[in-house]
Chains A and B, each alone.
Chain A
Amino acid sequence: GAGVSQSPSNKVTEKGKDVELRCDPISGHTALYWYRQRLGQGLEFLIYFQGNSAPDKSGLPSDRFSAERTGESVSTLTIQRTQQEDSAVYLCASSSSGFSGANVLTFGAGSRLTVL
């Protein structure tokens, strides 16, 4: 597609429920990233996928968080047993390469998660 697509755009759930957030990166982009942005805060790195390499999961805040990506396509971020502290905007970004040269991240519009 022309840009990074994320769904749902908004999700309201009850504490304790599981949620799945989806990211469809730009076609051909090998690198995919998930970030979390709490209200008034900076972006927090969650996880990074590069091609078929093992993902960098070092930013995941707890074992309730997991993410998958098949090949260089869609990724899903799953949050199990959601807590109110999980309320945030979850941003996905993709890039044509995973190295911090001149490559630019292209962000999706985000999925706003509200845990009641």
Chain B
Amino acid sequence: KNQVEQSPQSLIILEGKNCTLQCNYTVSPFSNLRWYKQDTGRGPVSLTIMTFSENTKSNGRYTATLDADTKQSSLHITASQLSDSASYICVVSVRGSTLGRLYFGRGTQLTVWP
């Protein structure tokens, strides 16, 4: 069964600290994995995309890693800011499928306190 599991479910950190969010998936055949950021009351916005051959990719203070062998990804946020407070969603797509067949994790709710 194709599934995407994220941990932790929620996380509270102090401004300026780093954190790492985890995503484990069983989706097969794997095409790519995206991390989305969803602010409260808004739609998700793509942060980064990881394909099978990529191990790490950075987007500003966000760094995503992918281990296709263990089917794990992480999103590392450096020097957190209050604006990082949001839900971070891991999304995996199946090779050859339409975008309608994306598999979404439930998200990690990150709260950054001043």
A residues apposed to B, CB below 8 Å: 4, 31, 33, 35, 40-45, 47-48, 50, 56, 59, 91, 93, 95, 97-110
A100 and B43: CB pair below 8 A? no
Asked if B93 is at the interface (CB within 8 A of a chain A CB), the reply is: yes
Interface CB pairs A-B, < 8 A, 14:
A31-B98, A33-B100, A41-B106, A42-B104, A98-B99, A100-B99, A102-B32, A105-B99, A107-B43, A107-B44, A109-B41, A109-B43, A110-B41, A110-B42
In the bound assembly, the distance between CA atoms of A48 and B106 in angstroms comes to 21
Q: A108-B43, A109-B42 are in contact. Are A100 and B106 (CB under 8 A)?
A: no
Q: Which residue of B32, B94, B98, B106 is within 8 Å of A40 (Cβ)?
A: B106
In the bound assembly, the distance between CA atoms of A95 and B49 in angstroms comes to 15
Q: Which residue of B46, B93, B98 is within 8 Å of A48 (Cβ)?
A: B98
B104 and A100: CB pair below 8 A? no
Q: A100 contacts which chain B residues (CB < 8 A)?
A: 31-32, 93-99, 101-102
B99 and A95: CB pair below 8 A? yes
Q: How large is the interface on B (under 10, 10 to 19, 20 to 34, 35 or more residues)?
A: 20 to 34
B43 and A93: CB pair below 8 A? yes
A33 and B44: CB pair below 8 A? no
* 16 other A-B residue contacts (CB within 8 Å) besides A35-B104, A42-B105: A40-B106, A42-B104, A43-B104, A45-B102, A48-B98, A48-B99, A95-B99, A98-B98, A98-B100, A99-B98, A99-B99, A100-B97, A104-B34, A106-B43, A107-B43, A110-B41
Q: B41 contacts which chain A residues (CB < 8 A)?
A: 109-110
Q: A97 contacts which chain B residues (CB < 8 A)?
A: 99
B100 and A45: CB pair below 8 A? yes
Asked if B45 is at the interface (CB within 8 A of a chain A CB), the reply is: yes
B23-55 interface with A by 8 A CB criterion = 31-32, 34, 41-46, 49
Interface centre among A93, A105, A110 (most CB of B within 10 A): A105
Q: A101 contacts which chain B residues (CB < 8 A)?
A: 31-32
Q: B96 contacts which chain A residues (CB < 8 A)?
A: 100
Interface centre among B41, B99, B106 (most CB of A within 10 A): B99
Q: A91 contacts which chain B residues (CB < 8 A)?
A: 43-44
Question: Chain B nearest CB: distance from A110 CB in Å?
Answer: 6
